Structure 1
Amino acid sequence: MVSAALNHVMTDPSEPPLRPLPPRVCALLETLAAAPRLAAHLRAVYDTACELTLALERHYPALSYDREAVLFGAATHDIGKTMHPAELSGPGTAHECAGYELLRKHAVEEHLARFARTHATWTAPDVTVEDLLVSLADKIWKGKRVTELEQLVIGHLTSVSGQQPWEAFLTLDDILGHLAADADARLAFQTRHALPGPRLPLD
């Protein structure tokens, strides 16, 4: 049975207003009995990715990437924390590969599952625009700016727009500044929802 708290955090109207998680993601989180705190985090990053990609499409219509993959990746990037719940409130990277394997086990396609293991490795040689945008959404949702990551995105923006790097920087800086303005409200939304309870000892 799906907990009322989990169902509420995934889909009900929220403050700040956040888009509900996609039905496929909700089904996965229900199956995995995800903690409401994790669902709240994924919803905040998903909504941020929606806003980020819409802004980029307005300013850089020639930027070619799979928007649906980015949004799915944002909505599931930390799903491995269902297996490593300590990483919901503390550091750790075990959830990355675990999340990828978990998604593949539940028949999620490779091109969608990969974000679970790539969202923190934007310097890898085979990184894609999609990987960078999921990573960027996972930072800016809480107002965090990462110069190295943003420079990689700017490289793609200049290549499709003919802008000078400083022009692309100003445009991206404006987009990210607008998104960061709501970071405190998103953080408060996440904090309002419960972490996993203590595991009961086995008999």
Structure 2
Amino acid sequence: MTAHDTASIATDDITDPPLRPLPGRAALLLEEVDAPPRLVAHLRAVHDVAARLVEWVRRHCPSLEFDSEAVLFGAATHDIGKALHPAELSGPGARHEAAGRELLLTHGVPAGLARFAGTHAAWATPGIGVEDLLVSLADKVWKNKRVADLEDLVVARLAGADGRPRWEWFMALDEALTAIGDGADRRLAYQMSHPLTRR
């Protein structure tokens, strides 16, 4: 796979499904690590869902403070370790998590941004940030997977930020995630249309 192919998957206009391009820095990193096409497609789908979540939270809970750029970068790079462990693109495994964090650090990414490679599957860890929860949520709901304990943690942050009762936030978040989940089949088809390995 050439760098141009990676850049194309990461940044070209896509209308079916409509997916935002990856941030330039993330796209460049994926080129540098020679990421497999399916990985780049996956990261683009998760990044788009993360952007939709960020927009929703900003609109519905402006009092919740978080770094939206960190969420978007984290979503765009959270699985970068699968470039080193490509078997985990089509099967289970968690070796990509620590490997991804180290890979990002090696490429000069600050620890505060590299952390998402390790935290996207560890949302129950004490001290986890709102940004980490949103990346984890995007990584589930892009394929319409609902994880109750993760969603409860997000609801708690929303309720804690503006004082509205948790049940109201639960209903609002459920509606938003249901709407996002409706596009899962198209996102999955897009991801699966890309090969697992570089040609």
| Stretch deviating more after TM superposition (153-162 or 8-17) | 8-17
Matching residue of 2:39: 38
* 2:5 partner amino acid: A
Secondary structure in 1 aligned to 2:138? helix
Normalising to structure 2: TM-score of the pair?
0.96
Residues 1:97 and 2:112 are matched in the alignment: no
Matching residue of 1:2: 2
Give CA-to-partner distance per residue, 1:29-77, whole Å, 9 cap, x none: 1111111100000000000000011011110000100110011000000
Deviation at 1:4, TM superposition (A): 4.3
Q: d(CA) in 2 for partners of 1:28 and 1:169?
A: 36
Deviation at 1:6, TM superposition (A): 2.2
Matching residue of 2:73: 72
> Unmatched 5+ residue regions in structure 2?
none
Give CA-to-partner distance per residue, 1:111-167, whole Å, 9 cap, x none: 100000000000101211111000000000000000000000000111112111110
Deviation at 1:2, TM superposition (A): 2.8
Deviation at 1:3, TM superposition (A): 4.4
> Unmatched 5+ residue regions in structure 1?
199-203
Q: d(CA) in 2 for partners of 1:169 and 1:91?
A: 30
* 2:6 partner amino acid: L
User: Superposition pairs for residues 52-201 of structure 1, below 5 Å?
Assistant: 52-196=53-197
Percent identity between matched residues is 56
* 2:139 partner amino acid: D
Matching residue of 1:201: none
Q: d(CA) in 1 for partners of 2:64 and 2:111?
A: 22
CA RMSD of aligned residues (A): 1.3
Q: d(CA) in 2 for partners of 1:186 and 1:30?
A: 22
**Runs of 4 or more consecutive aligned structure 1 residues displaced over 3 Å after TM superposition:** none
* 1:137 partner amino acid: A
